Structure 1
Amino acid sequence: MSAAGAHGRARRGGGGHDDGGHDGPDERWLVSYADMITVLMALFIVLFAISQVDAQKFLELRQGLADGVGASSTIPVDGGSGLLVSNGSVAAPAQPQTSVQDESVSPQASGSSGASAAQGGGPALEAAKAEVEKLEEVQRQLSAALQGAGLGDRVGFRVTEDGLVGAIVADDVFFESSSATLQPTGEDVLDAMAPVLGGIDTPLELEGHTNALPVRGGLYPSNWELSAARAAAVVRYLQADGIAPERMTAMGFGETRPLFEGDSPEALSGNRRVDLVVASDQPAEVKALLPEAAEELHSSAAPPAVAVAPAPVDAAPAAAPPAEAVVAAAAADHAAEGGH
């Protein structure tokens, strides 16, 4: 064995450096650095990708949003001046827009008419006018039937959000005080109206009302029961006259919905009534416009032409007076009687 070999074995067996040692600098930081560079590269790729606006896809998105909210005009997009277009130049900054027009929204609609504006004030109002014309045709038929029976002053009509309301004043001609038994004149009124009501297919609501005087003794413990019983009595009588029962509803409101406030003779007599409602079957936004439509139709009606010669006698029955006039007349006739 040579001296060099012995010397080499001596170095490996004993002294010298450990095989697991590390003479150079620690380079483990490169792993973290590489991860950071990768993340930054991904970030810049995402930023670059979202800076490219696909015009076709944007138009499709805009149209989809417009269809979703019911708008037909453009949707404003506020942006900076750093967007790149396809040729690499910088796009001009978008002009800010402050409003979005919606062709289906009426500019005059506000407040209580907000629901109708959402559906389009114009179409809803036109539908309300058509419904008013239909209801007033029913009113003309009912008025003619009552006039023919000599009872034209017993029912007054008005158009409300519920439909056509015929107010039957519940004085002693219809119901005695604290009683829900129909009197003969009340039966005659219902007999005259029944053929017309039987010829339409809309629901009928019978609403009983009383004045503010408390019930003292008798069959009914309060005005609630009395008003409901009067409405039910009218329903039973109309059913006997051939009106389908599934079309009718009886409701009692007691003294909670007066036509006249206070305790005047007019209020004591006029608030004793049964309202016969020819209910409208229109959507809620159309029904809310019925009073407005009725007022507009009446105000826009052409005035009668001036007759040069004496006008011929009109054989047609006169239109029924409004509900308030009927109630006021009944109040004058029965102011001293009181009752419920």
Structure 2
Amino acid sequence: MAEDDEGRKKKQIIKQEIINIQEGAPEWMATFSDLVTLLMCFFVLMFAMSTTQQETYKELVKSLKSALGAQAVPESGTREGLIMHPIPSEKSPENQAVDDMGAMIEKEMDEIVSEVRELVLFNKLGGEVSVTKTDAGVVITMSDLLLFSAGGTQLSPKGLEILEKVAAVLSKLAYHVKVRGHTDSEPITSSIYPSNWELSSARASTVARLLVANGVPPFYISAEGYAQYHPVATNDTAQGRAQNRRVEIVYERDSIARQFEDMYNK
């Protein structure tokens, strides 16, 4: 009898547990939970898209600022459907004039380089005459092997011929030109030139005189000697010393700029 009572109690406990399980969360909670989850995913997606658009907009603003000026693009964001009207550049006439002058100077330097390179190619002077455009200006470099004998200042026949052709190009230019003489570090032993200072200065003067004789206005020319103190290569090798022995014809950017300023002010 006691065993039957105990069995009935166990059955009642199991039945009650089944009832408790069935009386848990109602069935509509599953659908509601799915809906909340979908909404959360939707807002997370919207937030991610908004962040991406903001980064894209920042890049767009940065690009437009560089093209139109710092004040041409508003700092606040925009929305799709709104039209951004073009804002005129706020450059002053003075700044515009500076930009125009800079472009003219660059164009003039490029033309000088182009004409000298054409001369070099036509006369097959690669390795003996070169021209480069730098931040400081245009530099025409001529090897002393082409121009002078060792330790001398008298122009060789070939050097004379080439310098006359170079002068024909330079005589068209109304800019100040510097002729710079350079030597290697080997000391000179000469009663006429006690040091490389005198030798480099004399060579620069020789080239300057020839340019004047071939049509370059003398008031546009200056001659300078730099001795061995501005090398372009090592003085420890014969090849390096040969590169250091050179004459440079230099059109400085500042001198070209001054000529353009004088033209604007007239």
Partner of 1:149: 123
Classify 1:169/1:125 alpha carbon distance in 2 versus 1 (closer, same or farther; 3 Å): farther
1:197 aligned residue (170, 188, 196): 170
The 8 Å contact of residues 175 and 256 in structure 2, kept in 1 or not, is answered as: no
CA-CA distance at 1:244 after TM superposition: 1.1
Alignment of 1:7-26 (within 5 A): none
* Cα distance in 2 for residues equivalent to 1:265 and 1:152: 19
The structural deviation recorded for 1:208 is 0.2
State the 1:184 CA deviation.
Answer: 1.0
Unaligned regions of 5+ residues in structure 1, if any?
1-71, 73-102, 105-118, 285-340
The Cα shift of 1:237 comes to: 0.9
Choose which of 252, 264, 268 in structure 1 pairs with 2:241.
Answer: 268
For residues 276 and 282 of structure 1, the distance between their equivalents in structure 2, rounded to whole angstroms, comes to 14
Q: Which residue of 1 aligns with 2:149?
A: 176
CA contact (8 A) 2:184 2:235 kept: no
Instruction: Say which SS state the counterpart of residue 260 (structure 1) adopts.
Output: coil
Counterpart-to-counterpart distance in 2, 1:159 and 1:247:
20
Per-residue displacement from partner, 1:228-259 (whole Å, max 9, x unpaired)?
A: 00000001111111211111100000011111
Larger mean Cα displacement after TM superposition, 268-277 or 139-148: 139-148
Give 1:130 shift.
Answer: 4.3
Structure 2 residue matching 1:267: 3-state secondary structure: helix
Does residue 210 (structure 1) correspond to residue 174 (structure 2)? The answer is: no
The separation in 1 between residues aligned to 2:234 and 2:122, in whole angstroms, is: 33
Partner of 1:305: none
Q: What is the letter of the counterpart of residue 251 of structure 1?
A: E
The answer to whether the 8 A contact 1:164-1:277 is kept is yes
The residue aligned with 2:111 is 137
Aligned counterpart, 2:208: 235
- TM-score with structure 2 length normalisation? 0.56
Q: Cα offset for 1:260?
A: 1.0
Is residue 132 of structure 2 the alignment partner of residue 158 of structure 1? yes
* Contact 1:142/1:193 (8 A) holds in 2: yes
Q: 3-state DSSP class of the match of 1:147?
A: helix
For residues 239-318 of structure 1, what are the structure 2 equivalents within 5 Å? 239-280=212-253, 281=255
Distance 1:185 1:282, change over 3 A: closer
Q: Measure, in 2, the Cα distance between the counterparts of 1:125 and 1:139.
A: 21
Contact 1:212 1:263 in 2 (8 A): no
RMSD in angstroms over aligned alpha carbons? Answer: 2.7
**Cα deviation digits, residues 165-198 of structure 1 (max 9, x gap):** 0110112x31111111111111121111112111
Question: In structure 2, what residue type is equivalent to 1:156?
Answer: S
Among all aligned residue pairs of Structure 1 and Structure 2, give the percentage whose two residues are the same amino acid: 28
Higher share of residues assigned helix:
2
Contact 2:116-2:131 within 8 A present in 1 as well: no
SS of alignment partner, residue 182 of structure 1:
coil
Match of 2:76? Answer: none
Q: Using the TM superposition, give the Cα deviation of residue 213 of structure 1 relative to its aligned residue in structure 2, in angstroms.
A: 0.5
User: Equivalent residue for 1:219?
Assistant: 192
Which has the higher relative contact order, 1 or 2, with Cα contacts under 8 A spaced 6 or more apart?
Answer: 1
Residue range with higher mean Cα deviation, 201-210 or 147-156: 147-156
Question: Matches of 1:283 and 1:150 in 2, distance apart?
Answer: 32
Question: Aligned with 1:231: secondary structure?
Answer: helix
Displacement of 1:129 in angstroms is 5.3
Between the aligned partners of 1:124 and 1:197, the Cα distance in structure 2 is 26
Q: Secondary structure at the match of 1:165?
A: strand
